């Protein structure tokens, strides 16, 4: 792979600018195999495609200079945050520079009265929440991994508490981006709302580094709730869990987190965390509010659950008790990874209208069973979003072929139900092939925007939309 | 004005297609002066600029045909919903067709379990909420006027309860738009979230008819709250009201509406509605939730208000009592209009970070006083958004000149505080001149998008961004 990438670099002209970059940035430009391999290493089964060099900028102005050089020499730039994306977003199919944001990790301002903060793109969400702890505020978007804020914005990440606090679409008040012509665009001020022109913030959120390079962001924060209650409830059926969730949302119950693990995932968690949970679809809930309002919510949900085939309902308030109740959910990803030792983990996600969720999960489980695959399911049920995690023996050609068909059918099923091919993982390289089916003529609009904003296709080429 | 428009039509080629349109649409094409004048009549002081004809399409396919004809002959198209926009959005400075959506007012589907509905762009928000009444759901975005949903999306409207339910940015799950090349783009499915490519929904929301013509929308709905409590509280100072709001939001108090009227607006309301409110900044609040949680909120806010110079705090639950408490707020716009008989009403808005709101309003009031203007202020205080409503004698040249300078300083003040030139009214023709100051190089990005998606500038030309 390294050899192929080296050949490519000669084609793309990266070699032509590496010396100039070194003269400007010194040791913050590296071309070692180890570093290049690390920066193309994604959590998918997509093979790694290495960049020619890794560059560590320290501020927006340096990125402007890098972009101008790359634009002149047609060298791709792939922004790199924490490397936790799932669809091959960080691959360098045409070589180029991996732009590592780890040195741009300053928290520039916290405005407590405005419930916002300003950060550089390389700040991670745990770093930010540690920093905020004494302010009584927190940043809610939680995709699981300790991702960088820039990467989370670029992929429109969300996670467990999007049902209450929204996704990165909602969390970003403004962002600063370096465009392909080297201009630095700040998309908005810090007002909570604006109707002053095209929404460049939302255009760049979810653009996966293909339209501009995000360097700074202003984020909405929330007050840490006075009380947090957690609950766990096994259900007889997935339909029961979904129906209970629909009822709770219609009633305006303020679910802060609302997760579903299927019985396969529960078994994986039992093994991984030495638990003894019943092997049945199980919901993990969290309620935020005042002592009285959270207690009211937890009681109301108990009634709703009982009406929908919910079983032994447990809830807790103290942090250690909450952690114990939620242990299976917290460890779900790692439990899935170790459930079938040696297997390749293929974490994928789709999202459908919540009325179709039970049907979509049930049909998907039927497909899994018919193929004889091992594939736990974890759902952000309040959003209609679920992850399927096929664990594949890559030496078994039949299994590999089977999972290809399975993934295509999973997306086809979600689209047929007016859903989307990805709720929160993004398109990257892995899901480009589904964009036409999902968006039809909308892909042509995306392509037109890409071509006009990045005419030489230097920004993360080979991702999101196929250029024609 | 009509004569000028007629001359323009010869230049733009509208006359060339009117016969063809008549052949296709019959009486749904009209060129009468009365109809053309009505369709250019906006609620600003900007002079009307009439379209050459008004066309009443009945479905998306007809709009495709109209767009193709207009694209071929370079004829502008200005979408017209309910005609309630405020910044000259409906003017036809280059002539062309006003596309009236009143015949596209079907509610196509209500999905109760998914809390969404599908509507044609001409449906108005009151029509929708009447339709939804029996479902237990409602559409929350409330800009005051009974605007069309398409127009509200096009201008990224919001209003009194955006502090809890968000703006049209949040309310639109997907939309269908006819693009300049005649393609019909549906921007997304009905999933609650998606990370599948560029956010075309948010690009078109707020684009004011300049990028594509919105014909259908899927909207997020909410459960009608079990209990609604309303409250009113006079404050000694604007700072006190703002500080109380900041504290309530930091605590996560679920304010559903949170409005501020200054003492000038209160006086106007006293005269208009024969009330006897104290002439002091006054907050109007609404809380949504369960009986227990709303009662908790109303009590907590009472304490917060008392800590910040709040006076006689009244609250109510029964609808008639709530309406009585809120009468001043409900009638604020009409009260302002009648406060100075014969005056031109200039309704404008800006939005700033909430920590700067008191300062921004106070400086604005100082400017009003120094100029000797009459200008009530009404604020969506929870969002940092406020309206100033100068009432101007247009025959008084000194006053007219004074208000020009006042409006420029108002925007300059908001921008200096990291705010925006418009929180919810949009850019239209009236605020184009502020876009460069607000967005800097971002305007060039907007211009590039406009040029690539509407290369012949047929969609609402002369609005949002100046083309160079």
The predicted complex's ipTM stands at 0.96
Q: Find residue B353's DSSP bridge partners.
A: none
CA distance A81 to chain B (A): 18
Q: Which helix (H) or strand (E) holds A18?
A: helix A14-25
CA distance B129 to chain A (A): 16
Average pLDDT score over residue span B309-317: 96
> Exposed, middle or buried: residue B144 (CB in 10 Å: 0-12, 13-18, 19+)?
middle
Is it the case that residue B6 has pLDDT exceeding 70?
no
Task: List, for residues A377-398, the tens digit of each pLDDT value.
Answer: 999 999 999 999 999 999 999 9
Q: Would you call B449 and A352 a contact, using CB atoms and an 8 Å cutoff?
A: no
CATH number 3.30.70.2190 given to A227-333: yes
**pLDDT above 70: percentage of residues in chain B:** 97
CA distance A193 to chain B (A): 6
Residue of B302, B429, B416 lying closest to B359 (CA atoms): B416
Q: At what angle do helices B291-307 and A291-307 cross, to 10 degrees?
A: 170
In angstroms, the CA A206 to CA A199 distance is: 13
Question: Across the interface, which of B156, B205, B453 has its CB nearest the CB of A448?
Answer: B453
**CATH for A340-416, among 3.40.50.720, 3.40.640.10, 3.40.50.300, 3.30.70.2740?**
3.30.70.2740
The whole-number pLDDT of residue B226 equals 94
Q: At what angle do helices A60-73 and A14-25 cross, to 10 degrees?
A: 160
The residues spanned by each domain of chain B are 2-102, 106-223, 227-333
With CA atoms as reference, the chain A residue closest to B420 would be A194
Instruction: With H, G, I as helix, E, B as strand and everything else as coil, classify residue A174.
Output: strand
Task: List, for residues B216-238, the tens digit of each pLDDT value.
Answer: 999 999 999 999 999 999 999 99
In angstroms, the CA A208 to CA A211 distance is: 8
Whether the CA torsion A454, B419, B283, B369 is positive or negative: it is: negative
CA distance B206 to chain A (A): 6
CATH number, span A2-102: 3.30.43.10
Longest dimension (CA), chain B: 69
Task: List, for residues A77-92, the tens digit of each pLDDT value.
Answer: 999 999 999 999 999 9
Is it the case that residue A11 has pLDDT exceeding 60?
no
Whether the CA torsion B359, B360, B364, B365 is positive or negative: it is: negative
CA distance B28 to chain A (A): 29
Average pLDDT score over residue span A400-423: 98
Question: Across the interface, which of A113, A195, A249 has its CB nearest the CB of B354?
Answer: A113
With CA atoms as reference, the chain B residue closest to A117 would be B353
Label residues A197-206 b or e (16+ Cβ within 10 Å = b): bbbbbbbbbb
Q: Would you call A351 and B383 a contact, using CB atoms and an 8 Å cutoff?
A: no
Average pLDDT score over residue span A53-80: 97
CATH number, span A105-223: 3.30.465.10
Instruction: With H, G, I as helix, E, B as strand and everything else as coil, classify residue A147.
Output: coil
Band of residue A192 on the pLDDT scale cut at 50, 70, 90: very high
CB-CB contact of A395 with B157 (8 Å) = no
With CA atoms as reference, the chain A residue closest to B440 would be A185
Cβ contacts from A onto B, under 8 A: 309
Question: Across the interface, which of B188, B195, B418 has its CB nearest the CB of A156?
Answer: B195
Q: Do domains A227-333 and A340-416 have the same CATH topology?
A: yes
**CATH for B106-223, among 3.30.465.10, 3.30.460.20, 2.40.30.10, 3.40.50.300?**
3.30.465.10
**Chain A residues closer than 8 Å to B195 by CB:** 155-158, 167, 206, 420, 422-427
Q: Would you call A191 and B385 a contact, using CB atoms and an 8 Å cutoff?
A: yes
Residue of B169, B195, B193, B174 lying closest to B185 (CA atoms): B174
Q: Find residue B223's DSSP bridge partners.
A: B137
Query: Which residue of B158, B173, B209, B445 to mutate against A (max A Cβ within 10 Å)?
Result: B445
């Amino acid at each position: 792979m390294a050899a192929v990438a080296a050949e490519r670099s000669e084609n793309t002209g990266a070699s032509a600018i590496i010396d100039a970059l070194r003269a400007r940035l010194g040791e913050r430009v590296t071309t070692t195999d180890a570093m290049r391999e690390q920066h193309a290493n994604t959590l998918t089964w997509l093979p790694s495609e290495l960049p020619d060099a890794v560059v560590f900028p320290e501020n927006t102005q340096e990125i402007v200079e890098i972009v101008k050089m790359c634009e002149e020499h047609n060298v791709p730039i792939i922004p790199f945050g924490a490397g936790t994306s799932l669809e091959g977003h960080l691959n360098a199919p045409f070589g180029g520079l991996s732009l590592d944001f780890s040195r741009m990790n300053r928290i520039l301002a916290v405005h407590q009265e405005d419930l916002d903060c300003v950060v550089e793109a390389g700040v991670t969400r745990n770093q930010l929440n540690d920093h905020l702890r004494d302010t009584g505020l927190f940043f809610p978007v939680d995709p699981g991994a300790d991702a960088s804020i820039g990467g989370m914005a670029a992929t429109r990440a969300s996670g467990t508490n999007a049902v209450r606090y929204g996704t990165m679409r909602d969390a970003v008040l403004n962002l600063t981006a370096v465009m392909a012509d080297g201009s630095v665009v700040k998309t908005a001020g810090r007002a909570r709302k604006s109707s002053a022109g095209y929404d460049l913030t939302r255009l760049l959120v979810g653009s996966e580094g293909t339209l501009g390079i995000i360097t700074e962001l202003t984020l909405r924060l929330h007050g840490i709730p006075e009380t947090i209650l957690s609950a766990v409830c096994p259900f007889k059926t997935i339909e029961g869990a979904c129906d209970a969730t629909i009822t709770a949302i219609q009633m305006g119950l303020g679910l802060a987190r609302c997760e579903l693990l299927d019985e396969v995932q529960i078994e994986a968690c039992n093994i991984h965390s030495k638990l003894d949970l019943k092997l049945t679809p199980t919901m993990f809930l969290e309620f935020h509010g005042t002592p009285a309002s959270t207690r009211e919510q937890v009681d109301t949900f108990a009634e709703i659950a009982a009406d929908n085939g919910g079983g032994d309902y447990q809830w807790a308030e103290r942090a250690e008790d909450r952690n114990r109740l939620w242990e299976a959910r917290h460890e779900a990803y790692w439990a899935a990874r170790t459930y079938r030792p040696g297997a390749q983990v293929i974490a994928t996600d789709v999202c459908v209208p919540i009325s179709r969720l039970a049907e979509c999960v049930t049909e998907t489980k039927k497909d899994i069973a018919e193929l004889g695959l091992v594939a736990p399911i974890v759902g952000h049920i309040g959003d209609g979003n679920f992850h399927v995690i096929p664990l594949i023996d890559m030496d078994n050609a039949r299994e590999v072929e089977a999972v290809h068909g399975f993934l295509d059918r999973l997306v086809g099923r979600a689209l047929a139900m007016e859903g989307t091919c990805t709720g929160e993982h993004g398109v990257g390289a892995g899901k480009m092939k589904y964009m036409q089916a999902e968006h039809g003529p909308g892909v042509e609009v995306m392509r037109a925007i890409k071509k006009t904003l990045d005419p030489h296709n230097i920004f993360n080429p080979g991702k999101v939309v196929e250029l024609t």
